[in-house]
Amino acid sequence: MTTVVWFKRDLRTHDHAPLAAAAELGAPVIALYVVEDDYWNLPDSSDRQWGFVRDSLADLDRQLARADNRLTVLRGDMISVLKSLKRSHDIQRVFCHQETGGQWTFDRDKAVIGWCDEQQVEFREWNQFGVVRRLTDRDLWDRAWTDLMRRPVLPAPGHLPAPGTPVDGALAPKDIEVAAGAACPDPQAGGSGKGESLLKSFLERRCIGYQYNISSPNTAVTACSRLSPHIAYGSVSLRHIYQQAKAIGGHRNTLPRKQKSLTSFRSRLHWHCHFIQKLEDEPELEFRAMHREMEHLKSGPNDSERLQRWQEGQTGWPLVDACMRALNHTGWINFRMRAMLMAVASYQLWLHWRDPALHLARLFTDFEPGIHYSQTQMQSGLTGINALRIYNPVMQSQKLDPEGEFIRRWIPELAGLPAEMIHTPWLMTPAQKERFGGNTYIAPVCDHQQAARVARKAVGEFRRQHVSRSETERVLDRHGSRKGPVQNRPKHPERKTGKTSDSQLSLFD
């Protein structure tokens, strides 16, 4: 009576309900991770993501060894692997966490459930985030999230009986390569041990001033928790992080400024699941605009030169290019800069959201489908329920990197420029370029101010001609936050009279 515990985006032993349930049975357990080539060939997966997973698998194996078991890593499609394990080890149960991923993982999971049903193999799954499958009413979501976050964190099992015979074909993660590109020169290391160290340093020191320091690319590197890839691949439990932050933030001896910072941090853990819930409720968001009538805002193929210059950090706008080059090198950039990159692609460069979204997905080590596709659409003005945000790349640069520290680090062509010139090098005179350098830096792809005006006008005209209030209200009902001012929530009394006055709808009025 062997139980398979199937690890996906939950690469840890602590606070792991499927593993705890398998341990309670006292029967042999195969702790399984399957490297699925079809997944790693998807357009939003990459080698840098695999690198983080590979680190985490090695760490997971060490954790399992402390419970008298080992991680079994196999390569192939999941159904074929289960068939083989059924023959060799007579597996009777498959336990796992729910995964709110893209369409591919959703279809894969349905196939696994179908196979288990056919083979009379028990299949059980638990949710690890505050994401509710088959949610019938968004008004019920917040309570479900809070209930899950307050449940006790499960300890790692002390003993997991190993199968009597080893599994044929098991692989060492360090020897596995995946097909997808976008390798990372300076990656963030994976594994629960690394994640716990980050959590400790954040809660002890780095969190102070969190809410003020996460916007600038200079301060965000240390001010942000940097736990995002660990949350994305489950090497640290979200509930564990939440409860640790709440315990310290709520302690009477904690300084008020630290309490305030940790309150701000916990709100972002809440937003994490809020955005994933959107993809869970409407999986088509991976492929089409959240506001369906906005899907055809841009027709025709993208301008390939503009797309390539954006991807390579060669737009000619220093902060935009510095962010893209930093992301290429490290696999991480802070939220504000992610938003700016996507907005510039969507408005000033007028690119359809899908190509930039896939490119950023491959670059993000912490790629989380539910957050990513919702956010890229929000920054592209495709949700219909959020204000239109067109970032001015020069103003962002002057505000968030006033001395040009971040720009000089990632754009060596501009290293010698004084601060007052580094944000707009195209305005330098030949004499200034001769004195300070900057001749080798590329000219802007276009006039960003003029492009922003044209984009704003185009969006407004499209909205007046093609967007209906009924579709906007459908999106608000389905995905709108229940936080914030009452007038921004669905089911507002004014809506019953056909009136709208809230700011979230202003783009479409």
Token duo for residue 321? 């290019």
In this predicted structure, what is the pLDDT of residue 180? 64
Q: What are residue 400's phi and psi, to 5 degrees?
A: -100, -15
Beta bridge pairs of residue 2: 91
Token duo for residue 505? 């709808």
Q: Provide CB contacts within 8 A for 273, sequence distance 6+.
A: 129, 130, 131, 145, 238
In this predicted structure, what is the pLDDT of residue 502? 32
Nearest of 187, 160, 153, 149 to residue 69 by alpha carbon: 160
Instruction: Name the amino acid, one letter, at 2.
Output: T
Q: pLDDT by residue (tens digit) across 284-299?
A: 999 999 999 999 998 7
In this predicted structure, what is the pLDDT of residue 300? 79
Instruction: Name the amino acid, one letter, at 405.
Output: E
In this predicted structure, what is the pLDDT of residue 480? 82
Instruction: Name the amino acid, one letter, at 55.
Output: D
Query: Measured between alpha carbons, how far is 34 from 194 in angstroms, rounded to an integer?
Result: 23
Token duo for residue 165? 């015979």
Question: Per this entry, what is the length of the chain?
Answer: 509
In this predicted structure, what is the pLDDT of residue 215? 96
Q: pLDDT by residue (tens digit) across 395-426?
A: 999 999 999 999 999 999 999 999 999 999 99
Q: pLDDT by residue (tens digit) across 451-486?
A: 999 999 999 999 999 989 999 999 988 888 776 554
Token duo for residue 375? 């956010």
In this predicted structure, what is the pLDDT of residue 426? 97
In this predicted structure, what is the pLDDT of residue 292? 93
Q: What percentage of the chain reaches a pLDDT higher than 70?
A: 94
Which residues in the chain show pLDDT less than 70? 180-182, 483-509
Q: What is the pTM (predicted TM-score) of this model?
A: 0.92
Confirm if 490 and 477 have CB atoms less than 8 A apart: yes
Beta strands in 27-137 (DSSP E): 29-35, 71-75, 91-97, 122-126
In this predicted structure, what is the pLDDT of residue 182? 65
